[in-house]
Structure 1
Amino acid sequence: MRALVVVGLLGVLALAFVVTAIIRDTQGKAGTAEGCPEGWPLADVTLHEPKDVKINVFNTTEEPGRAGSVADDFRNRKFQVKKVGNDPKEIDDVAVLRYGPKGVGSAHLLQAYFLNNAVPGYDEKRTDDVVDVVLGNGFQQLATTTEVNQSLGDIGAPRAPKGSCPSPVAK
């Protein structure tokens, strides 16, 4: 009988401890806009499907028509290609992804198509949800579907860039 009383008392104490911990939790709003400093942009960290991603494709290499062929590859993969053209500044990297807070999740997906070798070009002042894909001299080809899936597994979930907060509502 004494053992049941002790076990019951321990159960009540454990329940009280758990309730107190939940009520006093200071991290309950972590990852939401409520804990965000005033003036910081809200970053859309939703990993979008290709059909929901809007991109512009620009070429900086000396190979004419490269942006058009890569844009066609992206269209075949169901991306929404808005603009295709040349960028005057030549880059030696594989690619540069230029985006704002609304394009964080989209840029994260695109990063996988470059096997995480694209240089992020986050601009907190940019207001649209379009990602500029700027092809550089190091670009060879887009990753296959299998490679994209493996790359997404390697790089994990999208995170809000420094100086921004994750958006509480996925759009």
Structure 2
Amino acid sequence: MSFARVRALVVVGLLGVLALVFVVVALVRDTQGSAGLAEGCPEGWPLADVTLREPKDVKINVLNATTDRDGLARQIADDFRNRKFQVKRTADEKKKSDDIAVLRYGPKGVGSAHLLRAYFLDNAELVYDPKRTDDVVDVVLGNSFQQLATTTEVNQSLGDLGSPNAPPESCPAPVEK
């Protein structure tokens, strides 16, 4: 073996060892290992479940807040059922809305509400209630509602929305592994 080849092997070996040491030091000194978890959360703040759910795991109530579209809640509830959502109840809302939709949810419904935002192409008003204890999201359909987004539109909207974030004055719950 020539001297140039030996020298090249030594240099490559040293670079490999140096890279390995760098990776080990970076992993050991990582200060972001628990970033986004509930550590350091102020007393009394609720833990928000920021896990993005599959439609089959999302529980919803569909409420009709339109002025002149009777049966809309049942129709859209059927659309959600066809998309594998768990529809708990449908009803008419007393307070009418001119919005496209209003999503009302609590700390356990943050990830579910994030998914539902995509079905309204991020045009739904979000109403977070930190005192709410269930994981059901109320979907209130308003006068401006036309239709749910298609599967392709939902996927594109989810890409645009990114990951769910904990609402103000709440902390993200530790992610189950």
Q: TM-score range by the shorter chain?
A: 0.7 to 0.9
Partner of 2:39: 34
Between the two proteins, what is the percent identity of the paired residues? 76
Partner of 2:63: 58
Out of 108, 114, 118, the residue aligned to residue 108 of structure 1 is 114
SS state at 1:34 partner: coil
Out of 161, 171, 174, the residue aligned to residue 165 of structure 1 is 171
Mark the structure with the bigger radius of gyration.
2
Cα distance change, pair 15–76 in 1 and its aligned pair in 2 (3 A): closer
Structure 1 spans left out of the alignment, 5+ residues = 1-7
Q: In the aligned structure 1, how far is the partner of 2:114 from the partner of 2:16?
A: 46
Partner of 2:54: 49
SS state at 1:102 partner: helix
SS state at 2:137 partner: strand
Structure 2 spans left out of the alignment, 5+ residues = 1-12
Out of 133, 136, 150, the residue aligned to residue 144 of structure 1 is 150
Partner of 2:86: 80
Q: Which amino acid aligns with 1:140?
A: Q
- The CA deviation at 1:35 is 2.6
SS state at 1:111 partner: helix
Contact 1:44/1:170 (CA < 8 Å) preserved in 2? no
Query: For this pair of structures, how many residues does the alignment match?
Result: 171
SS state at 2:39 partner: helix
Q: Which amino acid aligns with 2:111?
A: G
